[in-house]
Amino acid sequence: MSVGLVLANAVLVDPAGGIRTGSLSVAKDRIAAKAPDGAETIDAKGAHLAPGIVDLGVFSVDKAACIAGGITRVALMPDLSPPLDDPGLVQRSALAAKPDLWVHPLAAATRRLEGRELAEYALMVRAGARAVATGRNQIADSGVMLRVLAYAASQGLTVIAHAEDEGLVRNAVATAGETASRLGLASGPARAEAMAIARDLALVEETGAAIHFRQVTTARGLALIRVAKAQGLRVTCGITPAHLLLSDIAVTDFRTFARLSPPLRSEDDRQACLEAVADGTIDVLCSAHDPRGPEAKRLPFADAEPGMAGAETLLALGLGLVRDGLIDLPRLMAMLSANPARIIGVEGGSLGEGAAADLMLFDPDAPWIIDGSRFAGQAGNTPFDMLPTQGRVLKTIKGGRPLG
């Protein structure tokens, strides 16, 4: 561990609000008023400095992708093989990327993620789990979901839920609509999302639990979240850049890199998502990072696995929302770090004194072309391949230590 660090000539972006030019001092692994003697100085040359990204809900511990993407903490989805439903597996995952990346495993809500029996939340928390997650799918049985929420609430744990009604989307690979009909793809109605949210919100009211919908992607789903928040329910939600920037037209030509879960939606729903980012209904911007090699993607559309490699493009695509005037820079940083950190109950998202020195230095304007074949991470399955964008991570710093 380095004794300290001074990041000079930086534009400091604090998720709590405020942008200022100056320097930031680090003592050991904490942000400090003053760096100790002998601290290394990095001249940021006017680059931006913000808390490292806390990526809520990734499907693989992809250290290289995270370092390239400014991500210092990931909440790891339990959908591994075998699923994270056991304290031993959780403990091993939590240590998987030390010392370069914090991995916060999400405990499987049910054994083997089968949606039937409760898993050992308390023991998994002792092993390093931070919240409970239903996994890639909804828990179809409402009785089981009621008990998941009640039990998690009693342990003070947030439940990270997938919002698609299981019966409506079983076998579906696309959102019902013109594109799916033209391509002859099995599809489920977009309303499957609102149905799942409506049910879970009713159960949240019943139990007083805290719930986070990892991805909410439809106008109807977001409307329900808005109302629930106004009622004071403990509900938050997130979204990926893909659902903000692409509609289901992107799967035309059977582009398997655009096969996502939940699937891409209609243009109307996409517009509603942008509004919900602007008005604060959406709390979290996440990558849903799910690197998949050609063996899972170079297949007919319906046979391919869903998911995208999102870690390395999350910041740049998020900065696009700022450039478009939808949100300001501190709010983007809150969506990328402070909010997700608060939801899963970990440090992060602060530039305050004493906060963990998990940081990213970035140039918000640097132009580049997204090219999956040149990703640092495990795979290049991005639906944004060959898209020109702006904003690049220059340096990821974890625990006061510059990486890469």
- The smaller minimum CB distance to other proteins, of residues 128 and 189, is found at 189
How near is the Cβ of 369 to other proteins at its closest, in Å? 22
Question: Which lies closer to other proteins via its Cβ, residue 99 or residue 294?
Answer: 294
Give dist(CA 7, CA 49) in Å, integer: 9
Q: State whether the Cα torsion 265-185-302-221 is positive or negative.
A: positive
Instruction: Please give the backbone phi and psi of residue 273, each rounded to the nearest 5 degrees, phi first.
Output: -65, -40
Measured from the CB atom, is 129 or 185 closer to other proteins? 185
Residues found near other proteins in the complex (CB under 8 A): 176-178, 180-187, 189, 253-254, 294-295, 298-303
| Complex with other proteins: residue 34 or 298, whichever CB lies closer | 298
Cβ 386 to other proteins, closest distance in Å?
16
List helix spans (H) across 191-333: 191-207, 219-230, 241-245, 267-278, 294-297, 314-323, 329-333
In angstroms, the CA 177 to CA 11 distance is 45
Count CB-CB contacts under 10 A for residue 118.
Answer: 17
Q: At closest approach, how far in Å is the CB of 246 from other proteins?
A: 18
Distance CA 169, CA 62 (A): 29
- Which of residues 37 and 253 has its CB atom nearest to other proteins in the complex? 253
Q: Are 50 and 68 in contact (CB under 8 A)?
A: no
How far is it, in rounded angstroms, from Cα 32 to Cα 46? 21
Q: Which is nearer to other proteins, 1 or 182 (CB)?
A: 182
Task: Report the alpha-carbon distance of residue 393 to residue 70 in Å, rounded.
Answer: 6
Q: Tell the residue number behind the tokens 């992107």, with chain if given.
A: 250
The residue among 347, 377, 292 whose CA lies nearest residue 72 is 347
Taking the least distance from each CB to other proteins, the nearer of 35 and 185 is 185
Our CB check for other proteins shows the closer of 372 and 399 to be 372
Listed residue (387, 272, 283) closest to 332, CA to CA: 283
Q: How far is the CB of 301 from other proteins (least distance, A)?
A: 5
- Contact by Cβ (8 Å): 145, 139: yes
CB of 256 to other proteins, least distance (A): 9
CA distance 398 to 11: 19
Which residues face 28 on adjacent strands? Answer: none
Residue among 299 and 322 whose Cβ is closer to other proteins: 299
Q: Min. distance of Cβ 283 from other proteins in angstroms? A: 31
Least distance between other proteins and beta carbon 30 (Å): 50
Using DSSP, how many helices (H) and how many strands (E) does the chain show? 14, 18
If DSSP codes are grouped into helix, strand and coil, which group holds residue 5?
A: strand
Q: Alpha carbon 134 to chain centroid distance?
A: 15
Residue 218 Cβ vs other proteins, minimum distance, rounded to whole Å? 15
What's the min distance (Å) between Cβ of 190 and other proteins? 10
Of the pair 86, 164, the CB lying nearest other proteins is at 164
Distance CA 8, CA 25 (A): 8
Q: Work out how close the CB of 79 gets to other proteins at its nearest, in angstroms, rounded to a whole number.
A: 23
